[in-house]
Amino acid sequence: MTLSPDARPALARGVRLVEDRVRGGHQLLAPERALTPSKVAVEILGLCDGKRSFGALVDELASRFDADRALIESEAGAFLEELAGKGMVTL
Amino acid sequence: MNAPVRPQETIPAPLALLAEVTHRCPLACAYCSNPLDLDRRSDELDTTGWLRVFEEAAALGVLHVHLSGGEPAARKDLAELVGGAARSGLYTNLITSGIGLDERRLDELVGAGLDHIQLSVQAAEEEAGDRFSGLSGSHRRKRDFAALVTARGLPLTINAVIHRGNIAQVEALAYEAIALGARRIEIAHAQYYGWALKNRDALLPSREAVMGMRATMARLMADTAGAIVIDYVPPDYFARYPKPCVHGWGRQSLNVTPRGKVLPCHAAESIPGLEFWTVREHALAEIWESSPAFNAFRGTGWMREPCASCARREVDFGGCRCQALMLTGDARNADPACTLSLHHGLVEKMAGAEPAAPPPTRRGYAAPA
């Protein structure tokens, strides 16, 4: 399944992306849980503001990374749908 | 010749802080794992003391703070504590009975930056809920409180402690949590420390009931998928290997008691001979790295057989030190919940026993002998 370009992903209430000053990198914090997102994941999550459409998010990533748009769309979409399944992102 | 150098093990940064801000509580649950000798109000760290703990915890690498007790709402400065923890950059989770938090106080907490609420629920209906909590009207008040929380969009987790009295209602408990608007429910068997240990004969369910619950949980998780996330902790008395208690002693978490003592787990004071340091006298980082209690069971050097040579020694870390002490008389032994433990027979015997349930002893400040 692919994520609709009209989806407006946002971090769910109670989920926060923070910089980890002690260990380096970032942490995605949720109730009773912390995930350590990769650098690319941090870029994706930083664009999930509930206003930007998924289509615009993919455009932005494609220009930032100078990478194939279709590949980004499928990978970022799968990533966000996985987090949505865990209740950490709303779509 | 130089003195032998002990290889310095790297001590990882802790992830979570359990802040027991008070032992005061309007409820009197028989399964409470607070110590029998409860800290009094006059012993408690003040606002400034806690704010310093949160700041130091964040600097040390802690990500989540769990404000617990007792009932944290018994402290009038709770919103200040939440605000201080949030400003330090910590993810703030309030573990509460909901009693003592009205709309105004909840709004203050949300305004202070509270991230998440975990609400305890004792049963699926009022009569049993009030009986287990020891407070008339408490279940209805919990329902009202849950409605206030969800109306504000704050994520809500229900926690339900399972014992002989409610093990048959576990499905109803999960549906009650869904009705309350929770995203998650934690279902955990009572941990037999403190008051719960004193009341073990009144609380421990039969082996049959626990085995039956396994099948119930599998069905329940399938039936409620999509409606709620269920986190279920099976009881270690019936497992093959012990639980990796606190994910290893002094590896991920620390616990600060109302009076400021820093413990590797909430029951660590039950182990005699451990020297705990307090935040009144030491910085938190110094306690984490150097206090004798944290170093007593850190790593694997303290282990005896069968743990010392076990392939799982860094998987479950020998299980729970407090349980090893309680059942075998020595905290250095393998947790007897492990089938490899020489003392495992004790656990089998206990788990098979079905004594008639005596009435529970309600928690209070006059600790019984």
The Cβ of residue A2 has, within 10 Å, a number of other Cβ atoms equal to 10
Residue-level pLDDT at B224: 93
Taking the C-alpha atoms of residue B331 and residue B314, their distance in angstroms, rounded to an integer, is 17
Residue-level pLDDT at B6: 44
Mutate to test the interface with B, among A13, A17, A88, A90 (most CBs of B within 10 A): A13
Domain boundary assignment for chain A: 10-84
Q: Does B217 touch chain A (CB under 8 A)?
A: no
Residue with tokens 């209906």: B125
H-helix or E-strand spanning residue B127: helix B126-133
Q: Does B93 touch chain A (CB under 8 A)?
A: yes
**Interface pTM (ipTM) of the complex?**
0.90
User: Out of 1.10.3720.10, 3.40.50.300, 1.10.10.1150, 3.20.20.70, which CATH number does the structure's domain A10-84 have?
Assistant: 1.10.10.1150
* Cβ–Cβ < 8 Å for B78, B105: yes
Of A21, A34, A87, the CB nearest to B15: A34
Of residues B289, B313, B286, B287, the one with CA closest to residue B300: B313
Total residue count of chain B as it appears in this document: 369
A62-85 pLDDT, tens digit each: 999 888 999 999 999 999 999 998
Window A:70-89, CB contacts with B under 8 Å? 87
Taking the C-alpha atoms of residue B309 and residue B313, their distance in angstroms, rounded to an integer, is 7
For CA atoms A10, A13, A15, A19, the dihedral sign is: positive
pLDDT of residue B198 exceeding 70, the answer is yes
Taking the C-alpha atoms of residue B208 and residue B190, their distance in angstroms, rounded to an integer, is 17
Chain B residues near residue A16 by CB distance under 8 angstroms? 91, 115
**Choice between B210 and B87, residue whose per-residue pLDDT is larger:** B87
B167-188 pLDDT, tens digit each: 999 999 999 999 999 989 999 9
Structure tokens at B50: 């806690």
Structure tokens at B313: 């020694």
The 3-state DSSP class for residue B276 equals coil
Cβ contact, residue pair B60, A22, below 8 Å? yes
Of B59, B116, B231, the CB nearest to A14: B116
| pTM for this entry | 0.91
Of B91, B153, B186, the CB nearest to A13: B153
Residue-level pLDDT at B369: 45
Residue-level pLDDT at B353: 57
Mutate to test the interface with A, among B56, B67, B91 (most CBs of A within 10 A): B91
Q: Does A53 touch chain B (CB under 8 A)?
A: no
Residue-level pLDDT at B159: 96
Residue-level pLDDT at B129: 96
Q: What's the mean pLDDT in B303-314? A: 94
pLDDT of residue B5 exceeding 90, the answer is no
